[in-house]
Structure 1
């Protein structure tokens, strides 16, 4: 137990330093596809923290390595964030990195810059206590997770040839250790209609109504999806809705719905696609196109 106490003691020692690092990170906007400044900042931080090797890969992810053991482990945190949205909903400026009441406020504080800050501190502790003799450990700040989930690690595996035995994701889990995660699909649904002048909509066939009816069936589907005692419930939700029309005074002849689908144990791609076709059927829009 002595080693665990040493780790705890060093964690407390570096608590303020880690919080200040996270605050600085939050002050660097790092939206998906625009992570360059964040990656360069983290590269410098990792070098100053004593990593054996630090580099940026061709996709823009920042990778730090310690140790040269036979067993390979990786820790991951994506360093991109979503946009802050409506600023009126924020109690603090989203990129202020404000520390107040033992909390750090800002865009990405939890998802997932906090994980990256803690990884840098963890690497420092591992080096200080010489815990990495049998391991090669990669600490990855991956890019474009919010918009292109998985692309950074596909590149790390296929191009950088990093193939760890296991990966620890520092996604927020309320400070609990979780094993496994649900699968994910990005699915689109397209509906077409017939445009006409907005003063006589009955002469056309509005694609927005079609996609709206499908969205309401998806809402019902979400309440009926499988629950797994280990991985939790499968989920589905619309995330983006677009339409097109010849003008602002014409009935829409096209509508598009983007859907985020999380698969739990017992669900697969074929089932998810079939369920969406059923949503289209129940909505009376059998001609809608479902695409993965």
Structure 2
């Protein structure tokens, strides 16, 4: 019998900080195959693969899809007080990725293996365990293009929610703003064309920009933040290049291509915008029959209130939900949202066990077990 705590610790011991996610499949694929899953891995670059595992895809109703990622962000410069590869202290399991989101992946796999002990009457299961989510869902994109060509039922992303049910998340549109000019000696600026001035004027206009749309009833308003600004090489030269990056978080109903064109016009003719990350928002109506049922199951396990919520971060659902046929999608996982990317990241052992129960009950309900 698979133990979710031991499996999480096994994943935490692997270094998947933006690399080598395929090492995780050496840990996860054998027990999944032994349980009856057909496993395939799509590597978008050597050693960086997304695992897709199917159990009983032959049944009439498309399978319930459970998904999570195993790549993590770096530890950070601040020293950790706890071992980042799986130290337990009381109810807390410490480690990079414990909340975001190796704990969620371990809960998915543990529940899925337990479900295969039964005989489904209605549908099977599909697991999509991804690489390279943190940098823009590259693993999910590659898997969607190469392995996900069969119909799917609803999708659950096990990102950190403290096992609450989130009905969606904002989109992420990250843009690079580039201004170019002509260099000259700093004592003779009239002979040059200062790229920093061009970009600074654009950034000032971005600060004043308003989207002009009604807030989403749960997600609220879209946002724009200029995150970085750099330009020039030395003090006594006119800079001929300046670059800024812009983080736009969108809500359902906003078209990213149209928004990019609008922001380009705001920036002005001397600034070029180029997309860095383009992930649309995701939202499932809380009154959707499956979503309402799933929220009820999670609420029974955890005691959480069932009011609709949305995640502040993006997930692979931006890629997987449309790739699977715009299926109903929920986000629900054992990690704590506030623990993502922090020093001494931890996940509650009790939440891990709760998560396994939630996924088992969701799977049993959908599969007819």
What TM-score range do you get, normalising by the shorter chain? Answer: 0.7 to 0.9
For the 8 Å contact 2:216–2:251, the answer to whether it is kept is yes
For the 8 Å contact 1:29–1:38, the answer to whether it is kept is no
Over 3 Å counting, the alpha-carbon distance change for 1:199 and 1:77 in structure 2 is farther
**Aligned pair count?**
268
SS at match of 2:103: helix
Residue 98 of structure 1 and its aligned partner are, at CA, apart by 1.9
Task: Report the equivalent of 1:102.
Answer: 91
Over 3 Å counting, the alpha-carbon distance change for 1:212 and 1:133 in structure 2 is farther
Residue 181 of structure 1 and its aligned partner are, at CA, apart by 3.1
Mapping of 1:58-207 within 5 angstroms?
A: 58-59=43-44, 60-68=49-57, 69-70=59-60, 71-88=62-79, 90-93=80-83, 95-128=84-117, 130=118, 132-149=120-137, 151-160=138-147, 161-197=149-185, 204-207=192-195
Please list every run of 5 or more consecutive structure 2 residues that lacks an aligned counterpart in the other structure: 276-369
Hey, what's the Cα distance between the residues in 2 that align with 1:30 and 1:179? 28
Hey, what's the Cα distance between the residues in 2 that align with 1:26 and 1:249? 49
For the 8 Å contact 1:115–1:172, the answer to whether it is kept is yes
Task: Report the equivalent of 1:25.
Answer: 11
Hey, what's the Cα distance between the residues in 2 that align with 1:199 and 1:131? 80
> Scaled by the length of structure 1, what TM-score is found?
0.76
SS at match of 1:236: strand
Task: Report the equivalent of 1:55.
Answer: 40
Residue 58 of structure 1 and its aligned partner are, at CA, apart by 4.0
> Which of 115-124 and 184-193 deviates more?
184-193
Task: Report the equivalent of 1:291.
Answer: 274
Write the deviation string for residues 153-193 of structure 1: whole angstroms up to 9, x where unpaired: 33333322243132211122232112233333232211113
> Scaled by the length of structure 2, what TM-score is found?
0.62
Over 3 Å counting, the alpha-carbon distance change for 1:220 and 1:54 in structure 2 is same
